[in-house]
Amino acid sequence: MSAIARTRRRWVLVSAATVGTLVLSSVLSSRTPERSAACVGALIPAYLPPRGFEQLTAGAQVLIVNPANGPGERSEPAYRRAIKRAQGSGAQVLGYVATTFGARAAADVEADSARYRDWYGVDGIFLDEVAHDEARLPYYEALSRALRATGDPLLALNPGMVPARGYFALADVVVTFEGPFADYAPRLAREPGWLRDIPQAQTAHLVYAASRDEAISLFAAPARSGSLYVTSGSLPNPWGTPPPYLREEQAALASTDRRSTTCP
């Protein structure tokens, strides 16, 4: 995870003001961590300009937007228009905010979140570069309380691995795997047994460096998370373009068989 986290920071910095992060998923109906997390289809980080949103938006989705490793220094009209169009089509939009594994000042995280609300009218926040250990849990507990109190109904955390159990009480969705296809099965085999007690719809997996056949094999297998996105991209930026098998992946996500394994 540490290597992935370091490269993730570089990906966002390179994208700067022209590249966005978009996350595609089914609508999250849950509004507080006390409720069961809603069904999630796919959580898709895509480093795309605003016009790229339309390529990945199909039906009611949750999008995570990231104009400049956060909201940037000013509101960008192109992103405002893209967000408004997405919300008009039934989507919800989250704003990307990095937390530097608990080292970033909480006030700065809260300020970025406020800019997203004021400039773009987002529906919630996606916290990236999230720590996974119990030592940093109080930092994220305080952030979760602050963001919920200021009106962010949806909250997602991305530690990229299974964090300490307390993190699941803080957010609607937690990314418990981010990595290459080659690491997917070995990592899942080492997941703690208590993870089975967490509602499956509350977890998300992000898999890259997968061929079409490898991707299809994951969607054909019993679901291991409420959200699964697989792409062919590889480091240093696996999320720069959608995979060539995107339509097949979307069809798999929409299938009744798969959704029945993760949804009530």
Q: Which residues of 229-263 are buried (b: 16+ CB within 10 A; e: fewer)?
A: bbbbbeeebbbbbbbebbeebbebbeeeebeeebb
The reported pLDDT for the residue numbered 89 is 77
Q: What is the helix (H) or strand (E) element at residue 252, kind and residue range?
A: helix 246-254
What tokens appear for 179 in the block? 């990595």
pLDDT for the residue 75: 95
Q: Which positions of the chain have pLDDT values less than 50? A: 1-40, 59-60, 256-264
pLDDT of residue 246: 83
CATH number at residue 242: 3.20.20
Q: Which domain holds residue 53?
A: 2-262
Quote the CA–CA distance of 194 and 165 in Å, as a whole number: 8
> Which of the 8 DSSP states describes residue 187?
H
pLDDT of 47 reads: 60
Check residue 61 and give its pLDDT.
67
Name beta bridge partners: 93: 63
As for how many domains the chain has, the answer is 1
- The b/e string for 177-205 (b: 16+ C-beta within 10 A; e otherwise) is bbbebeebeebeeeeeeebeebebbbbbb
Q: Would you state the pLDDT for residue 65?
A: 83
pTM of the model as a whole: 0.82
Residue 57's pLDDT is 62
pLDDT of residue 41: 61
Q: Where are the alpha helices (DSSP H) in 76-159?
A: 77-88, 106-115, 137-149
**Predicted pLDDT of residue 58:** 54
Q: Which residue has the tokens 């949806």?
A: 154
Contact assessment for residue 230 and residue 218, using Cβ atoms and an 8 Å cutoff: yes
- What pLDDT, on the 0 to 100 scale, is given for residue 53? 65
The confidence score (pLDDT) of residue 56 equals 65
Bridge-based pairing of strands 154-157 and 173-180 is: parallel
